[in-house]
Amino acid sequence: MIEGYEQAAVGAEERLAAAADLDAVSGVERELLGRRSLFADAKRRLADLAPGDRAEAGRRLNEARARVETAAAGARERLAAADRDDRHAAERLDLTERLPHTVPLSRGRLHPVTQARDRLEDVFVGMGYTVAEGPEVETAWYNFEALNIPDWHPARGSFDTIFVNLGEPEEVMLRSHTSPVQIRVMEKRKPPVYIVAPGRTFRTDTADATHLPAFNQIEGLAVDRNITMGDLAGTIDEFVRAFFGREVKSRLRPSYFPFTEPSAEFDISRPDGSWLELGGCGMVHPNVLSNCGIDPEEWQGFAFGFGIDRLAVMRHEIDDIREFVNSDTRFLRQF
Ligand code: DAH
């Protein structure tokens, strides 16, 4: 009887050594070691043996059973290790790997307005200016009053301002131009000051081919001793040529802005001989200097401001400024 069980144990060891998965291992265990298994049955049958044979048979039976148990544990371990290796192989990340791509990858690029802004900064930095910034939400003081536009001034209406519902009515607003950055800079720094301030500006305009309610301007401000209108004209001429090319000329036309006196608009020449309006400029009004604690007897300055989006439209001959905010990559890819 015992030989039969020992034979079964040897067979089980072979099956376990060859087991391809955990199900196979469990199957052998169930068959030989479980409650209704071969060895359970053998144990019951020990009772039928003569008392003299029983101890020896029990020992051999236990030994055979232990061999099966050891083989099963070994098989489980072997399978678990193999499983771990498989998982590691499957989850391995090769950080140096480059997959061949069937669709060509498209590269992102800077928006044409960002490119124009970067170039403007470069041109002015090359002329000795530094770049300044101010907040997009402003108070009436910075957006208007300090710029010599008191609340009764008709020029306030011309700015089509978007007000923010905060504090007193019409006290807080999205800045309608970058000119408030002039004030913020002069409040903090003593002259000489040479800055440009590019940034977003906002007006109640409805978007059309030539307008956007959120657009970009760049402000320029120079404050020093003995600054003249000639310095302003020369600076604008120099910037226009550096930006558009040596053959492009600029001119100033008399105009009016509350924060400059005298004020002018500046144009650039087109190949066909006509002139295109670019922005406004002038000598900083003495009231503006005083508002910032700068003595207008000692210091003079010039300032200018114009639209960056407009500039990019001109440079690339784009017929609808709304293209800049449509996020159509077929359009943006061209720049
Ligand atoms: N802030 C003016 C506007 O948005 C533009 C401007 C005109 C800025 C004259 C200036 C300036 O600095 O001197 O219409």
CA distance 65 to 32: 8
**Which ligand 1 atom minimizes the distance to the CA of 178?**
1
**What is the largest distance, in Å, between two alpha-carbon atoms of the chain?**
130
pLDDT at residue 77, rounded to an integer: 92
Q: Decide whether any atom of ligand 1 lies within 6 Å of the 219 Cβ.
A: yes
> What's the 3-state SS for the chain?
CHHHHHHHHHHHHHHHHHCCCHHHHHHHHHHHHCCCCHHHHHHHHHCCCCHHHHHHHHHHHHHHHHHHHHHHHHHHHHHHHHHHHHHHHHHCCCCCCCCCCCCCCCCCCCCHHHHHHHHHHHHHHHCCCEECCCCCEEEHHHHCHHHCCCCCCCHHHHCCCEEECCCCCCCEEECCCCCHHHHHHHHHCCCCEEEEEEEEEECCCCCECCECCEEEEEEEEEEECCCCHHHHHHHHHHHHHHHHCCCCCEEEEEEEECCEEEEEEEEEECCCCCEEEEEEEEEECHHHHHHCCCCCCCCEEEEEEEEHHHHHHHHHCCCCHHHHHCCCHHHHCCC
Among candidate residues 51, 64, 45, 49, the one with its CA nearest the CA of residue 3: 64
Q: Decide whether any atom of ligand 1 lies within 6 Å of the 185 Cβ.
A: no
How many A from CA of 9 to the centre of ligand 1?
98
Q: Decide whether any atom of ligand 1 lies within 6 Å of the 260 Cβ.
A: yes
CA distance 276 to 203: 22
Percent of the chain predicted with pLDDT > 90: 74
CA distance 166 to 164: 6
Do 180 and 159 meet the contact criterion of CB atoms below 8 Å apart? no
How many A from CA of 263 to the centre of ligand 1?
9
pLDDT at residue 38, rounded to an integer: 84
Residue with tokens 């508002």: 291
Q: Decide whether any atom of ligand 1 lies within 6 Å of the 177 Cβ.
A: yes
**Which ligand 1 atom minimizes the distance to the CA of 306?**
5
Q: Decide whether any atom of ligand 1 lies within 6 Å of the 267 Cβ.
A: no
The CA angle 48-52-55, to the nearest 5 degrees, is 80
pLDDT at residue 296, rounded to an integer: 97
How many A from CA of 306 to the centre of ligand 1?
7
- Residue 306's DSSP bridge partners are 218, 279
How many A from CA of 335 to the centre of ligand 1?
28
* 230 vs 34: which has the higher pLDDT: 230
pLDDT tens digits, 128-154: 999 999 999 999 999 999 999 999 999
Do 280 and 304 meet the contact criterion of CB atoms below 8 Å apart? yes
pLDDT at 76 over 80: yes
pTM value is 0.71
pLDDT tens digits, 188-216: 999 999 999 999 999 999 999 999 999 99
Nearest CA to ligand 1 atom 5: 305
Nearest CA to ligand 1 atom 7: 280
CA distance 205 to 224: 36
Q: Decide whether any atom of ligand 1 lies within 6 Å of the 9 Cβ.
A: no
